[in-house]
Amino acid sequence: MREELIEREIEEVLGLRERREKDSELYKIANEVFDRTTKETLAYLHRRGKIEELYGVISTGKEANVFAGIDGEGRRVAVKIYRTYTTEFRRIWEYLAADPRIGYLPKDMRKLVFQWTRREFKNLQRAIKYAVRAPEPIAFRNNVLVMEFIGDESPAPRLKDIEKSLSKEDFEELYSYLIGTIERLWKRGDMVHGDLSEYNVLLWDSPVIIDWSQATVKRNRMSVELLKRDLRNVISYFARKGVDVDDYDEKLRELLG
């Protein structure tokens, strides 16, 4: 009986009772990634009004899929669902093991993914605390993270997707904003994003930085390498766009003090 109730709730979350789009991209991806744990988690969040319905796919990946959804009050949300069994096990383990905020690491892969999801929620909270524009975290449970939806009818585009339509002045403003973000995170928030690039910046009312799963604190032994990665990515990308960028070595020395 409980299984039947959960299946009915998942049908409601996917809107299948009304649409019956069983050949849709949403339905196909749901079949691939919605194992029992995920279904139970979505049903739990559905009962609490955090997710009323999923209506589209924003992005897909080896580690997670992001869906567009609506909450119980009719507001748009983004729902990130991590795969409970992922080929990224080694990478996730290494990142969590190095993070001083994480205590005991479970050997069970599902529970490790739950830790990973919780950490991204906390990273988003910390970034926003230090005035970095990121999706507001709304709720999380197990391998599901509910966040602010960035966009209007459609998701906001990534920098990489619309770079050809931008002017040199646009790139200069974006470079200044992202370098300022790296500095603010490191100096004020004792934090680093760790995967900052043109693929993780949405252009909306202001640039919005996404994908905070690998972000960590300065006390992490990996933090300096992650800081170097962010600086290198940002400086190299904008240099290719004709922006007068900072010297990488000088900027790194400035940040490390």
Is-catalytic flag, 195? yes
Can 205 be counted among the known catalytic residues?
no
Q: Which residues pair with 141 in a beta bridge?
A: 144
Tokens at 143, concatenated: 């391998």
Catalytic member of 71, 108, 190, 211? 211
The secondary structure of the chain as a DSSP string is: -HHHHHHHHHHHHHTHHHH--TTSHHHHHHHHH--HHHHHHHHHHHHTTS-SEEEEEEEE-SSEEEEEEE-TTS-EEEEEEE-SS-TTHHHHHHHHHH-TT--PPPSSHHHHHHHHHHHHHHHHHHHHHTT---PPEEEEETTEEEEE--BSSSBPPBHHHHGGG--HHHHHHHHHHHHHHHHHHHHTSSEE-S--STTSEEESSSEEE---TT-EETTSTTHHHHHHHHHHHHHHHHHHTT--PPPHHHHHHHHH-
Question: CA nearest 145: which of 8, 45, 31, 48?
Answer: 45
Catalytic: which of 195, 205, 230, 246? 195
Q: Are 231 and 248 in contact (CB under 8 A)?
A: yes
Would you please indicate which residues are annotated as catalytic (active-site) residues? 195, 211
